[in-house]
Structure formats: structure tokens, C-alpha cells
């Protein structure tokens, strides 16, 4: 019987796989990858990865040149060199037993990990389109899918939009199947790369020619148009244009969304990681990821999430649609990662209950958001209903985007904390998510909105000055700076732009101490300065400070005693 196997040659510092011509096509997919179950994907094995493709990460202590020489010695085609992740997406002959190749590579001490390019599974439960309303944004008790809703089982979006609906001062990204860029509710909110217009030239020098709206890593092209439908549903949930007289609305009325395409119904981990890297390198503050992988895809995805965390990017992750507890058992990637920049989201329904399909996890899953029968944009150019944690996640991503747009100085961890700390406690989620809560956008934006407060002087008793401050924003540091001087013309008092310690020195000669308070709630704060001589001129203003920058100033207020 003729032997059919791969022949391994150790050549100096190189490891090369040579395949006999009649070697079996071990990685061939014998059925549609979209039909693979999450259990099959988690276990890996033949059929669960792209034939002839693998990802390799060498010891990061090796120089770029040394890494390039090692990879060149493998004799494989480089599909992508991940600059930020310092990893490699490689192609070999489809007949090669990729998993055996990766095991052999992993034995090399210079290799941190090597694994096949595994398929993932979108977090979606299909539902036929029907006439609907955006109950997740504003639930008035309307009937959705024959279920009468519960009023206010939503994220309080209309109330929140009074504070902010525009997120165009930051970048958002989706790593998905692209989006229908010609859809009238999506087109205005698709990001346009200012550094690389369509001219056939790689103007921004990132190795991608004309990546004007993002990049399709599944086909290595700038054509990020959706043909699957999932990505168009996701983008519409997060950022369909609002208040334009057509269709429905996403969480963000105005946005700049980078489209990172990682495949259609069956993405690959190499393409997903490349999309996350692209978004991080472009400076996206928020990224939605509505896909799950099995444990076999852990290494590269962990590297990508780590890089995104270092870059300060929040990644909103769908918890999954297995109606199961994802904590423990087979690793769910990346939902079970412990990175601080991940917000893992389960799906609630229009009665504020748990959607029947949603996965959960009291450790891994952070929070819930509407995700059942969500009215959103479709790849056909219209609108319909979509269900799955795939749509709870972008709804959460839209909320994070508005929070970070309102308070750009927030770190990724701080932005996530805002979402979690201000969410509504729901008993139905107790023990099913880490917070036991469902997102409330209005409460989140209220907590970071520009402080609304006033400063006033009064003279209830002789020789006493009272300063009343009303602060409408919790947890704002208020500095009440007061100068007491001999009566002088209006506006000629101290320069309030001076550092506080300088300002303090200006006030102290007259015995008046500047007033400082941490306002823990809306209320009135006062300072009594006894012994103010008649004819003394007082001038002051209140300043809100978030720890790194002044966020608001009241007008200068004055009083002559």
C-alpha cells in the first residue's frame, strides 16, 4: 500500500512541511461551515477550519527582521502580517494536515503558538421580517411578534437623545459581514478614511490600497459591502441614521462606523483578528463583535483582544444564543476572556425578561440589552426584525459610543463602568449576569453629561457671604473660587484661568479660603465667610473638574457688600 503522509524536514532554523501529491485533504469542509454547531467549533478538528490556512505567533522578543526570516523559511505564503499583534496569517497547500503542522510548529521554542484558521459562528437567531417598532429604544407596551410589551422595558433612548445623539467625534467599528453601504439609513454613517481616498494608491501606507471605508479581510479587498445580511442588521442596530424621516433609528443618529469584514455567515478567526487590529490601529474607541469561536481559536483572538485593550478600545461581545450558561465547560471565545475592555452582552426581550435563546453567565456575561425582535436595517435595502445577542451587543456598543463621545477623556474601563453602574437592576438577571442589570442609556449619559449648575451669592446676615451651588450631575468635583477685594469695576477681578494654587494665593491675603466640594448628588452647598467688611467686592465662579480637564464653568458672579 502506498504511503500517504506529510514529510517533515528540519532545515537549520526552519521547519518546512512538504506534502506528497496524493496526501488527503484533511482540512476540506464536507458541508456548509454555517451548519457547524458551537460544540463542533469548540472541539475543532477536520472541517472546522479554512483548508490550508493557519496563524502563527513567534516569540515577541524576536526582532521583526528575525521573525520575517523564520516565516520565510517555512516556505508558505504570507496572507497577512499582523503589525499590532505581531503574528502571521499563512497559507499552505490545502492538502496539508494543518493541525498536525501546527502541533509540529508549536514544538519549536521560537513559536509562541500556531493554530488553524478556525471558523466562527455569528450570534444570530433568524426571524422573518415584519412590521415593527424600535421597542428596545422606546417601549410603550406595543405588540412585537405577537407579544405585548412592557412599557419602559427599554434603554430610555428618547430621554437620552435630549442629552446626546451624535457620536461623530469618535470612531466606531464593526467586525462582521460588512454593511449595505447604499442603504439610505446606513450610508451617511459609514466612515470615510480621510487618509486614503479611492485613487489606486496606498496613501496612508498601511499596505491596503483604497481602504476608504475599511477592509474585507476574508477576500483581501476594499469591498466591504454586505452580501450576507448580518452586518447590515448589526450596523443598523448600532447606528442607523435617526431623525431623517425614513425607517427606524439606531442608538447613534450620527456616527462614523469603520467596516471590518471578516466573512459572511462563516467568518474565520484570522480575518476577525485582522479586523480588530485594523479598528484599533485606526483609533476606534468602540468595536462591536457579534461572533463566537470555540476554544481552538483562543490564542490569536486573545492576542487581538489584548492589543485592543492596550489601544484603549472597548469591544462589545455577544454572549451567544445557546440558551446556556457559558461559564465553565468549553471555552467560549472571546466572551469568556477576562480582559477589562470587554463588555459581554446578553439579550432581553420586550417584557424585560430573558430572551429565550440568550446565553448567560454570572461571571463572564456583564449585562443585558434588548436583543429580541429588534427593528433594524436589512441587506435588501429595507427594514425587518432580527433576533439574537448579535443585536443586543451592537445596541450596547451604540450606548458605549455615545458615552465616550460625551466624555472623550474616559478610559475604556471607565466607559464600561459607566454603562454597568448606571444600568437598571432587574431581578430576572440576578445570577445570570455579573451585574444583574439591563442597560439604561439615559442614566449613563446623565452621569457623564456636561454639568449643569449655578453659582450665586447672597447676604442673609451682615458681614456673611453665602455661596449656593446647585449641581445636576452626580460625582462631579466642584471648585468654587472666590475673590474678596475692595470694590472694583465689574469684571476686573482675578483671572480665573490661573492655576488653582495661584488663585488661592490671591484670595488668602483677605482671609477668604476658596471653597472645594465633591458633589455626590444634586443639591445646594454653601460656604460662610464671616467678617466681610461693608463695601467689599466678591467675585467668583464654579468650575467642574474631572481629574484631568475642566469640563464646565459657570459665568462669573459678583456681589458688592
Kindly tell me if the per-residue pLDDT of 106 is higher than 60: yes
Nearest to 278 by CA among 307, 252, 300, 247: 307
Q: Is the dihedral of CA 519, 523, 528, 529 positive or negative?
A: positive
Q: Write b or e for each residue in 330-348: b if 16 or more Cβ atoms lie within 10 A of its Cβ, otherwise e.
A: ebbbbbbbeeebbbbbbbb
Confidence (pLDDT) at 133:
58
Kindly tell me if the per-residue pLDDT of 403 is higher than 50: yes
For 24-73, the pLDDT digits (tens) are: 333 334 567 777 777 777 777 777 899 999 999 999 999 999 999 999 99
Q: Domain 6-30+49-118 belongs to what topology?
A: Alpha-Beta Plaits (3.30.70)
Domain-wise residue ranges, the chain? 6-30+49-118, 122-129+167-435, 453-560
500-504 long-range contacts (CB < 8 A, ≥24 apart) are none
Helix (H) or strand (E) holding 303: helix 298-311
Mean pLDDT highest for which of 339-343, 529-533, 542-546? 339-343
Residue 192, judged by CB atoms within 10 A of its CB (0-12, 13-18, 19+), counts as: exposed
Nearest to 482 by CA among 452, 521, 525: 525
Confidence (pLDDT) at 447:
83
For 245-294, the pLDDT digits (tens) are: 888 899 999 999 999 999 998 899 999 999 999 999 999 999 999 999 99
Nearest to 264 by CA among 214, 229, 215, 220: 229
Q: In CATH, what class is 453-560? A: mainly beta
Nearest to 102 by CA among 269, 278, 337: 269
For 454-492, the pLDDT digits (tens) are: 555 555 554 444 555 544 444 445 555 554 444 333 333
Cis check for the bond before 10: say yes or no (omega within 30 of 0).
Answer: no
Lowest-pLDDT range, 21-30, 239-248, 303-312, 441-450? 21-30
| Cell output for 41 | 467549533
Average pLDDT, the chain: 79
Nearest to 403 by CA among 292, 318, 316, 481: 316
Q: Pick 122-129+167-435's CATH classification: 3.40.250.10, 3.40.50.300, 3.40.50.2300, 3.40.50.200.
A: 3.40.50.200
Mean pLDDT of 156-185: 91
pTM assigned to the model:
0.74
For 187-199, the pLDDT digits (tens) are: 999 999 999 999 9
Return d(Cα 471, Cα 469) in angstroms, integer.
6
Return d(Cα 454, Cα 448) in angstroms, integer.
18
Q: Write b or e for each residue in 110-122: b if 16 or more Cβ atoms lie within 10 A of its Cβ, otherwise e.
A: ebbbbbbbbbbbb
Block residue for cell numbers 505564503: 77
Strand segments, DSSP code E, in 75-192 are 77-82, 87-91, 111-118, 121-122, 143-144, 147-148, 172-176
Return d(Cα 80, Cα 71) in angstroms, integer.
12
Nearest to 270 by CA among 89, 523, 414: 89
Amino acid at each position: 500500500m502506498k504511503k500517504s503522509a506529510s514529510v517533515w524536514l528540519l532545515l537549520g532554523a526552519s521547519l518546512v512541511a512538504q506534502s506528497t501529491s496524493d496526501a488527503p485533504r484533511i482540512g476540506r469542509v464536507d458541508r456548509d461551515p454555517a451548519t457547524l454547531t458551537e460544540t463542533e467549533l469548540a472541539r475543532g478538528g477536520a472541517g472546522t477550519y479554512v483548508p490550508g490556512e493557519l496563524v502563527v505567533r513567534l516569540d515577541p522578543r524576536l526582532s521583526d527582521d528575525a521573525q520575517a526570516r523564520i516565516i520565510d523559511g517555512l516556505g508558505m505564503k504570507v496572507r497577512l502580517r499582523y503589525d499590532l499583534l505581531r503574528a502571521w496569517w499563512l497559507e499552505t497547500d490545502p492538502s496539508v494536515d494543518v493541525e498536525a503542522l501546527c502541533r509540529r510548529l508549536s514544538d519549536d521554542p521560537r513559536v509562541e503558538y500556531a493554530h488553524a484558521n478556525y471558523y466562527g459562528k455569528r450570534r444570530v437567531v433568524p426571524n422573518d421580517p415584519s412590521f415593527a417598532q424600535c421597542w428596545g429604544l422606546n417601549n410603550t407596551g406595543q405588540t412585537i411578534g405577537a407579544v405585548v410589551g412592557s412599557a419602559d422595558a427599554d434603554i430610555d433612548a428618547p430621554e437620552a437623545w435630549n442629552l446626546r445623539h451624535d457620536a461623530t467625534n469618535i470612531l466606531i467599528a464593526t467586525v462582521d459581514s460588512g454593511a449595505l453601504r447604499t442603504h439610505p439609513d446606513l450610508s451617511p454613517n459609514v466612515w470615510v478614511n480621510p487618509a486614503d481616498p479611492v485613487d489606486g494608491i496606498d496613501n496612508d501606507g498601511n499596505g491596503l490600497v483604497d481602504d476608504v471605508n475599511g477592509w474585507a479581510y476574508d477576500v483581501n479587498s476594499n469591498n466591504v459591502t454586505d452580501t450576507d445580511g448580518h452586518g447590515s442588521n448589526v450596523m443598523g442596530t448600532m447606528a442607523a441614521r435617526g431623525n431623517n424621516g425614513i425607517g427606524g433609528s439606531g442608538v447613534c443618529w450620527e456616527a462614523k462606523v469603520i467596516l471590518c469584514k471578516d466573512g459572511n455567515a462563516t467568518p474565520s478567526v484570522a480575518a476577525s483578528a485582522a479586523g480588530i487590529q485594523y479598528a484599533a490601529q485606526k483609533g476606534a474607541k468602540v468595536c462591536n463583535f457579534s461572533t463566537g469561536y470555540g476554544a481552538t481559536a483562543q490564542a490569536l483572538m486573545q492576542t487581538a483582544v489584548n492589543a485592543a485593550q492596550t489601544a484603549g478600545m472597548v469591544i462589545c461581545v455577544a454572549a451567544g444564543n445557546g440558551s446556556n450558561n457559558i461559564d465553565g465547560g468549553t471555552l467560549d471565545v472571546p466572551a469568556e476572556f477576562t480582559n477589562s475592555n470587554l463588555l459581554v452582552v446578553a439579550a432581553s426581550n420586550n417584557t424585560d425578561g430573558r430572551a429565550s435563546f440568550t446565553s448567560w453567565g454570572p461571571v463572564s456575561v456583564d449585562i443585558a440589552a434588548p436583543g429580541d425582535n429588534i427593528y433594524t436595517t436589512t441587506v435588501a435595502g429595507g427594514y425587518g426584525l432580527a433576533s439574537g445577542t448579535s443585536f443586543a451587543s451592537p445596541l450596547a456598543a451604540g450606548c458605549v459610543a455615545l458615552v465616550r463621545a460625551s466624555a472623550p477623556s474616559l478610559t475604556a474601563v471607565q466607559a464600561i463602568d459607566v454603562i454597568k453602574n448606571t444600568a437598571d437592576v432587574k431581578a430576572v438577571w440576578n445570577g445570570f449576569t455579573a451585574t444583574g442589570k439591563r442597560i439604561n442609556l439615559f442614566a449613563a449619559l446623565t452621569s457623564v453629561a456636561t454639568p449643569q449648575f449655578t453659582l450665586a451669592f447672597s447676604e442673609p446676615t451682615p458681614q456673611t457671604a453665602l455661596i449656593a451651588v446647585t449641581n445636576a450631575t452626580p460625582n462631579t468635583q466642584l471648585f468654587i473660587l472666590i475673590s474678596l477685594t475692595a470694590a472694583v469695576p465689574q469684571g476686573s477681578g482675578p483671572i480665573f484661568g490661573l492655576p488653582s494654587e495661584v488663585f488661592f494665593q490671591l484670595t488668602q491675603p483677605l482671609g477668604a479660603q476658596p471653597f472645594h466640594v465633591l458633589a455626590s448628588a444634586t443639591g445646594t452647598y454653601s460656604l460662610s465667610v464671616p467678617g466681610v467688611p461693608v463695601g467689599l467686592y466678591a467675585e467668583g465662579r464654579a468650575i467642574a473638574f474631572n481629574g484631568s480637564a475642566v469640563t464646565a464653568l459657570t459665568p462669573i458672579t459678583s456681589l458688592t457688600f
